Amino acid sequence: MEETTYSAKDIQVLKDLTAVQKRPAMYIGDTTSRGLHHLVNEAIDNSVDEALIGFCDTIDVIIHEDNSITVRDNGRGIPVDTHGEYNLSGVEVVMTKLHAGGKFDDKVYKVAGGLHGVGISVVNALSTWLEVEVVREGRRYYQRYEHGKPTCELKELIGLDAEGDGYAQGTKVTFKPDDTIFSVHEFDAHILATRVRELAFLNPGLSLLLKDERSGDSRTFKYEGGLVSFLEYINRNKHVLHKPITFEADKDDVKVGLGLQYNDSYSENIFSFVNNVKTIEGGKHVSGFKAALTRVINEYGKANNLLKKVSLDGDDVREGLVVVISVKLKDPQFEGQTKTKLGNSEVKGIVESVVREHLWEFLEENPKDADNIIRKALEASRAREAARHAREIVRKKDFLMDSLPGKLADCSEKDPAKREIYIVEGDSAGGSAKQARDKNFQAILPIRGKILNVEKARLDKILKSNEIRTLVTALGAGIGEEFDLQKARYDRVIIMSDADVDGAHIRTLLLTFFFRYMQELVSTNHIYVALPPLYMVKKRKETRYAFSDEEYAQVLEELDVKEGDTGVKIQRYKGLGEMNPDQLWETTMNPATRCIKRVNFEDAAEADWIFTVLMGEDVEPRRKFIQEHAKEVINLDI
């Protein structure tokens, strides 16, 4: 082994914003789409913090044609006076120093989403350039930064309208993310709209404009109804069992806002926020709500003779439930800079106490609604018991069959992190895939036809489906409440279906199943869709594949080929079974050359809505959706 030295001179100290540029994922989660949009969230959250304490009622978010973005508010504006310790303006300290800000005590901000003082400085560090304008006391100031470093001192803009774009005070930040850092370079207006919409729901009366100069689209989000409007939005196109239940309470310096409503679906949807920040992994506030809900429903049911010799569990009382939990407190302890989970242990008891008091009051005052809720939970309980028996049968059968289903062609690799499984439509395509695959790390599971539409069935019925039981057994991580990602036998689950309408239907049925009963697989980026080619064009020794009609036309032009030319072979693949194993490997299964799409969702409410519309019981919302989007269809079999 080559001898190396290691001494104090080898220890590096990363100064200023260099640490952020070296390890961006530590501060924003990752450098893909999620991290890119997190930059915007950091800027917006600063503006919303001004709104929380009553100094801001308007926020503009503007996506420019060059993919730079502006976030502007009419708050107090970042301080421009000189900071005594650093001898820099307040603006420059905030923009260039980690852990700098006015949110470390409650003198300036009683509650805030930004707590660590790294948000906007991280945005600056990860941007090719950033410009900030501040309007305070009728005077307008400007400073520009490149790669986190100022190109000029903060200067007053003399002779210009101090109000800028009609703002008598406030802060305007415009930045261009660094393309060398991020793997995704374009902002998705839909993702930003989701966040802006949520903030409008959570802050009644706050006006948020989202403008996309690339498309010309512009929309203002403002909801006076608050949580009621939020619930109505989520439950659109669902049959609700009662009017929205909403309440707010202050307890021990924690403000709790909660809205809940049951519908007749079989899934639960919990949306949780702390100081307007979405906590996608939940935390103590969610734990407190769940504990209180289960206890109140059981106590009320028994006190009113609605439950006899039956105790409902948490999954029973949350079936068909939509809930929005919003807590605001002085010193929230988030787990990590990206703030996805709340850790304050005291919040659990506070939320539990508030929910117990107000939910009990609602049930007492609305006995008919209470009866509907408990009847729904009882049906869920009976179905859960039936599902438990079905699971036991499945487990027993699997044990007798030596666990893995016979149709599964497994791989030899033992490390789940290096394994992937292709779910393939039909035995013919399954046979080709088994011959094409790399047996070391690729497994093949053929499924027959279209699986059960799980949007229209409870778990007990779902577990009677042979195809679904085979799929659950092969993946090895359980289903529903028992799903455990740590037990998953494969890192990638790849859906490979024919490039036609039937294949799209099968793909949608599988995605519905994963979203409803193995959602963590989707949210943690383990589900993929394979993209097999539509055409093969062979001219002499050159073979080209096209994955769309547009690409096919381009290939014909590049090879100077016309349909009908002699000596040229053109094949339109109608199904995976028409491809020989070599072609399937080269185009769809070889990691070095294949094209696969990762399935994820940024907006759980929108994902829930689209599955309800497309896969649910009601025909009318689906008909309306088809009529509105008919012109967007690019693949139609007649």
What is the rounded distance in angstroms from the CA atom of residue 135 to the CA atom of residue 540?
A: 68
Q: What angle do CA 109, 110, 111 make, to 5 degrees?
A: 90
Element (H, E) at 118: none
Closest-CA residue to 167 (of 65, 51, 78, 60) = 60
Query: What is the spatial distance between Cα 533 and Cα 575, in angstroms, rounded to a whole number?
Result: 10
- Of 500, 551, 602, 603, the active-site residue reads 500
Please give the full DSSP string across 480-539, using - where no structure is assigned. GGG--GGG-S-SEEEEE--SSHHHHHHHHHHHHHHHHH-HHHHHTT-EEEE---SEEEEE
Is 407:445 a contact under the CB 8 Å cutoff?
A: yes
The C-alpha atoms of residue 320 and residue 262 are separated, in whole angstroms, by 5
Residue type, 269: N
Could you tell me how far CA 515 lies from the centroid of its own chain? 12
- Per annotation, catalytic residue among 502, 578, 602, 606: 502
- Joined together, the tokens standing for residue 599 give 């399935």
Query: How many C-beta atoms lie closer than 10 Å to residue 579's C-beta?
Result: 23
| Residue 363 C-beta-side C-alpha neighbours within 13 Å | 24
- Pairing relation of β-strands 88-89 and 217-221? unpaired
Catalytic residue among 50, 316, 498, 608: 498
81 noted as active-site residue: no
Catalytic residue status for 502: yes
Angle, helices 189-202/227-234, rounded to nearest 10 degrees: 140
Neighbour order of strands in the sheet with 542-546: 542-546, 535-539, 568-572
Catalytic residue of the set 425, 467, 586, 608: 425
Residue 268 is among the residues annotated as catalytic for this protein: no
Rounded Cα gap, residues 96 and 497, in angstroms: 50
Q: Cα–Cα–Cα angle for 531, 533, 539, nearest 5°?
A: 155
| Active site residues per annotation | 425, 498, 500, 502
